[in-house]
Each structure stands twice: as structure tokens, then as C-alpha cells.
Amino acid sequence: MVSRARPLRDAVKSRFYPFADERGFSRVRVAHPLFTDFRRERAGKVQVFDIQWDKYHRPCFVLNFGEAPEGDLELHGTRIAAKDVGPAHCPLRGRLQRYKGGSLSCWFRLRRPWSDVLSSGAWSYRPEEVAEELVRAFRELEQWWETKIEGPHIYVC
């Protein structure tokens, strides 16, 4: 059975992965199919993010991000090896999504918001449009890593 999210996953993979590679991020192998992890080291810190896909295989995702000092971390009495540090382990973490907020409707997705449906006459975005939207929003995340100023697509937990 082919997932409804497959076209969006393919578009993100072909457009966004090379974009992240150009910015010094490398993919990290994770055993879970709903997450794709990336990391880079800059100025004594490790910057990490993962793309989290919807667990019901709907065509939507969110980007979880974080920043931590290089090296091993101590989290709730447990030592986390430097190579295993992910967004959930970082003292500074948040989400990059279409809108601020905590609900699934804030995630990047094919379905258009109602206001866009009315103005465009189309129910959905094309997968390539969502991948391009992620690329534009990711620039805001890079700015956050530099300044820690939240923009319209950054939701800090």
C-alpha cells in the first residue's frame, strides 16, 4: 500500500535534503521511519533537527529543532552520547511549522487553510510548493540559531 504522504515525502527529500546539505547538515540514521534526523556543529554547539511525519501517514510534517553544547549531555540523570543528541535532548528546542501553535493544523501540510482555499479555489498545495515553503521557513530557523529571536514559523517550547 502506498502512503498518501509519499508524494510530499518525495518532494521534501528531493528539494529540502540537498538544501540542508548545502548548509552543513548531515543526515543521521534513525531506526524510526517517521523521523529523519540532521545535525551540524558550529561554534562549540551542535544544532540538530528532525522532520517528524504524521503517525497516521497523512501528508503533513513538522520540523523539531534544538541546540546544545558539543559533547555528551546529562539529562535527568542519564548520560546522552554526543552522537545521539537529538532535539528532545536539547535545553533550547522548538518547532518550525507553518504557523505558531501546538496543534496539528499548524504543521506543514498539503491541505490549504480555508482562507487560501477561498482565494485560490484549490483545496490543496502541490507537494513541491510545500517543500519550497519549508526551504523559505528554514532560513528563519537559521536566523533563530544566530539570534534566538522567534519569527512567525518558530514555536519554542
Tens of pLDDT along 53-77?
999 999 999 999 999 888 777 777 7
Give the model's pLDDT for residue 97. Answer: 96
- Any domain includes 41: yes
Examine residue 1 and state whether it is found in any structural domain, yes or no: no
Structure confidence at residue 38 as a pLDDT band (50, 70, 90): very high
pTM, to two decimals: 0.90
Question: Does position 41 have pLDDT exceeding 50, yes or no?
Answer: yes
Q: Which residue range is the domain that position 123 belongs to?
A: 6-156
Q: What average pLDDT score do residues 86-115 get?
A: 90
Residue identified by cell 540559531 is: 145
Q: Count how many domains the chain has.
A: 1
